Amino acid sequence: MSHIPHLINGERVAGNGRSAPVYNPSTGDSTSAVGLADRATMQLAIDAAKAAFPAWRNTPPAKRAQIMFRFKQLLEQNENEIAALISAEHGKTIEDAVGELKRGIENVEFACAAPEILKGEYSRNVGPNIDAWTDLQPIGVVAGITPFNFPAMVPLWMYPLAIVCGNCFILKPSERDPSSTLFIAELLNQAGLPKGVLNVVNGDKDAVDALIEAPEVKALSFVGSTPIAEYIYSEGTKRGKRVQALGGAKNHAVLMPDADLDNAVSALMGAAYGSCGERCMAISVAVCVGDQIADALVDKIVPQIQALKIGAGTSCGLDMGPLVTAAARDKVKGYIDAGVAQGAKLVVDGRGLVVPGNENGFFVGGTLFDRVTPDMTIYTDEIFGPVLCIVRVGSLEEAMQLINDHEYGNGTCIFTRDGEAARLFCDEIEVGMVGVNVPLPVPVAYHSFGGWKRSLFGDLHAYGPDGVRFYTRKKAITQRWPARKSHEAAQFAFPSNG
């Protein structure tokens, strides 16, 4: 069995002591083991990043950007190998893995604009012979903790931008599917990144706590579940760190009576069942305004759910692969059990799915519930599986109140032909990312990603302009060069330009 190492100071470092198995979710087999870093190993990475920082912060932004241009090219050249690694350890289909990588590359492209995005502001003659400007300076050693569901994309949300801003980065990826993350980091080293600027340390809670507690680490980025996001935010900020912690979601799609139903169904199929529902932007609740649209939705979507092509993620031409672990599969099945017990109408049951040739894989088929109510756990909780719930309401206002009352506010969308309804929805909904006839409103790389309420802890969203703000500190400089042989008397009143 192969062992997946850490990447510290530009070199592969074997793990010491504890390790965790890494599975192929399609077969259920353990294919490798990943080392779980102790505090001494994490300190090696912290020391490497700290040592690399002085030279890296003084590297011109244009030179940093040149490395990112080469990195982008290497990512594109190695697309097939990266997608295969993602699929083999996560379970998502090859096509989905390629899509994930391409969205990650968008963030590398944004980072290539370092000379532009790091320009400060300049004002001449704010006072007599006085000029003022702002300077965006790096923070120092920063870290990212990323989830299993996007082992390529979410790390690429973080470290390319942090690095071109002049910081050194420590990445703690998910221990469930670390191979693609490690491979991509090594491509950045091949692109010419100096040793120590990016370090990848595998681990579990011990590694996370080491990053939280290390005084050398000045900022933490996190994507994952809400309880852990809240923990990292609380523990990090009380130690004076800058923290952005993105948590869980329960994303609703509102279907108005005038919705283009055929297109809405196609959108819901991809948004609910793509990546087996293991997306923080997955649509897991369809809120139908009126029984007529709800009944029509059920009639149209049931045959498509039953026709889903499900199999080993490493195969091509599939709609859905397995869940990431046996525990994830069992958790989703438990939610389906609870939905039945609490009185929801189970229209399509995915619990009995068997994939020939992959009988031990972690599969759950597409599942649909109707007549779901807000007190049911399948409504309140983030299931993170291929389960879509239909909730019936009488008006758009009732649908919006339902969404606004939920503890999560990550993403939502509305399907309608009515511009007035869409405008009201966009203005009044208490959610951070909103789509109009767009089921997965994930912002492009030059905007920023983040939810509201208990979907985000911290003031700044991920990547894009907010990412630049998060990974830099603004310094205001005021400078004066008095005329030669001039002398001015002391001023005791507070200075002004009046």
Residues designated catalytic: 280
- Between CA 416 and CA 274 the distance in angstroms is 22
Measuring CA to CA, how many Å separate 215 from each of 55, 199, 206, 208, 481?
A: 20, 17, 16, 13, 39
Tokens of 67: 């490395």
Task: Classify strands 387-393 and 367-370 as parallel, antiparallel or unpaired.
Answer: parallel
Question: Which residues partner with 370 through β-bridges?
Answer: 345
Within 10 angstroms of residue 106's Cβ, the number of other Cβ atoms is 18
- Between CA 10 and CA 199 the distance in angstroms is 7
Q: Where are the alpha helices (DSSP H) in 13-166?
A: 39-57, 61-77, 79-90, 94-111, 114-117, 153-164
Tokens 């329960």 sit on residue:
250
Cβ neighbourhood burial of 270 (10 Å; 0-12, 13-18, 19+): middle
Which are the contacts of 47, defined by CB distance < 8 A and separation ≥ 6? Answer: none
Measuring CA to CA, how many Å separate 290 from each of 34, 191, 418?
A: 51, 55, 16
Cβ neighbourhood burial of 474 (10 Å; 0-12, 13-18, 19+): exposed
- Three-class DSSP category at 99: helix
- Between CA 369 and CA 480 the distance in angstroms is 69
Secondary structure in 3-state letters for 373-410 = CCCCHHHHCCCCCCEEEEEEECCHHHHHHHHHHCCEEC
Half-sphere exposure of 325 (CA within 13 A, CB side): 12
Nearest to 75 by CA among 63, 83, 66, 65: 83
Q: Which residues of 34-63 are buried (b: 16+ CB within 10 A; e: fewer)?
A: bbbbbeebbebbbbbbbebbeebbeeebee
Within 10 angstroms of residue 239's Cβ, the number of other Cβ atoms is 14
Given a contact cutoff of 8 angstroms between Cβ atoms, the answer to whether 410 and 433 are in contact is yes
